């Protein structure tokens, strides 16, 4: 049996940076440091960080002993950001710099008078933060939605983990409505490259494993992509989930992983496949 692993599997620049910041703070063993929501969308990493003393909180109003807050990779909405400022907490900003850029462009488009269209998943924290920067009249669409009636001047900004094809679709639809369109393609290069490489590997194998948080947007994108290529695909968080039956007849197995999946989990998946695949 042959196992192919995508080169881009695992931590992207933004996640690596956030994890480095969080574990550095953890080493300082300070009291009262929390992350506001899970720092990245990977439960195993979040657990490891909690073991070092930094746990996520979801509502700062319910917590009394806060001294410092680490902002997660996906960023936070502008109103929360202002609330944090007013409370005087120390802020350790681990927002991915590419998400920061998307926030900036959402704000800019709004200030320039565009009706802002955000391509992304509306319940994702990154998209919620983009919404707050784009302010009134902004709408969120995904690759499946049909655009509602838009204004004549439309600005488009994108959740960093969306596929390019979805952006092309949204722009094409917006062209039916608006006479002026400004697009900031804020899809991060690492996402685009990972999608391309995953498609290449998926085309060569009998079974595909996508490793990463079930709540991770970019991991879910990878799973969707592999399924669309008609390869039997399993989205798993850890090696423990793998069933022998899945790989019984497979000669070539592919592994890819989301931007928030640590290398040790990918390695464990590889070892487990080798073990049970014989």
Residue 86, CA distances (Å) to 27, 133, 219 in order: 28, 18, 35
113 forms part of the interface with its own copies (CB under 8 A): no
Between CA 139 and CA 161 the distance in angstroms is 18
Closer by beta carbon to its own copies, 32 or else 97: 97
- How many residues touch its own copies under the rule CB under 8 A: the total is 16
Closer by beta carbon to its own copies, 155 or else 213: 155
In 122-179, DSSP assigns E strands to 139-141, 153-158
Q: Which stretch binds its own copies (CB under 8 A): 1-9, 28-36, 63-71, 161-169?
A: 161-169
Provide the minimum distance between the beta carbon of 187 and its own copies in the complex, in angstroms, as a whole number.
9
Q: State the catalytic residue, choosing from 47, 121, 126, 237.
A: 126
Provide the minimum distance between the beta carbon of 18 and its own copies in the complex, in angstroms, as a whole number.
23
**Max intra-chain CA distance, the chain:** 61
Provide the minimum distance between the beta carbon of 188 and its own copies in the complex, in angstroms, as a whole number.
11
Between CA 214 and CA 232 the distance in angstroms is 18
Residue 120: DSSP 8-state: S
Between CA 102 and CA 62 the distance in angstroms is 30
Closer by beta carbon to its own copies, 175 or else 263: 175
Q: Which stretch binds its own copies (CB under 8 A): 4-12, 30-38, 143-151, 162-170?
A: 162-170
Closer by beta carbon to its own copies, 119 or else 210: 119
Between CA 268 and CA 238 the distance in angstroms is 8
165-204: contacts with its own copies (CB under 8 A): 167-168, 171-172, 175-176, 178-186
**What track of x and - describes contact with its own copies for positions 6 through 45 (by CB under 8 A)?**
----------------------------------------
Told to judge if 28 belongs to the known catalytic residues of this protein, a careful annotator would answer: no
Provide the minimum distance between the beta carbon of 75 and its own copies in the complex, in angstroms, as a whole number.
19
Provide the minimum distance between the beta carbon of 72 and its own copies in the complex, in angstroms, as a whole number.
25
- Residue 205 tokens read as 């194998």
Residue 32, CA distances (Å) to 26, 66, 197, 203 in order: 11, 5, 41, 48
Between CA 106 and CA 132 the distance in angstroms is 9
Residue 75: DSSP 8-state: -
Closer by beta carbon to its own copies, 22 or else 225: 225
184 phi-psi bin (left φ>0, alpha ψ -120 to 50, beta other): beta
Between CA 202 and CA 256 the distance in angstroms is 9
Closer by beta carbon to its own copies, 48 or else 153: 153
205's CB contacts (< 8 A; 6+ apart) are: 4, 231, 250, 252, 253, 254
Provide the minimum distance between the beta carbon of 156 and its own copies in the complex, in angstroms, as a whole number.
9
Active site members: 126
Site residues for its own copies per CB under 8 A: 164, 167-168, 171-172, 175-176, 178-186
């Amino acid at each position: 049996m042959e196992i192919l692993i995508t080169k881009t599997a695992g931590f992207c620049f933004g996640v690596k940076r956030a994890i480095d910041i969080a574990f550095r703070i953890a080493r300082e063993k300070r009291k009262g440091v929390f992350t506001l929501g899970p720092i990245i969308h990977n439960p195993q990493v979040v657990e490891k960080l909690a073991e070092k003393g930094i746990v996520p909180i979801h509502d700062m109003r319910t917590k009394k002993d806060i001294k410092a807050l680490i902002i997660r990779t996906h960023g936070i909405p502008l109103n929360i950001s202002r609330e944090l400022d007013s409370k005087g907490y120390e802020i350790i900003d681990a927002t991915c710099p590419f998400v920061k850029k998307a926030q900036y462009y959402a704000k800019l488009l709004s200030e320039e008078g565009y009706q802002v269209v955000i391509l992304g998943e509306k319940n994702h924290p990154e998209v919620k933060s983009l919404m707050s920067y784009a302010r009134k009249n902004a709408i969120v669409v995904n690759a499946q939605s049909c655009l509602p009636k838009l204004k004549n001047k439309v600005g488009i900004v994108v959740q960093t983990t969306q596929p390019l094809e979805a952006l092309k679709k949204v722009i094409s639809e917006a062209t039916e409505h608006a006479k002026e369109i400004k697009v900031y393609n804020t899809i991060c290069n690492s996402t685009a490259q990972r999608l391309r490489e995953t498609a290449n590997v998926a085309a060569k194998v009998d079974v595909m494993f996508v490793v990463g948080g079930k709540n991770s947007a970019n991991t879910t994108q990878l799973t969707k992509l592999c399924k669309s290529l008609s390869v039997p695909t399993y989205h798993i968080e850890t090696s423990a989930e793998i069933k022998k039956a899945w790989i019984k007849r497979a000669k070539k197995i592919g592994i890819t992983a989301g931007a928030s999946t640590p290398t040790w989990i990918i390695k464990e998946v590889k070892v487990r496949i080798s073990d049970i695949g014989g």
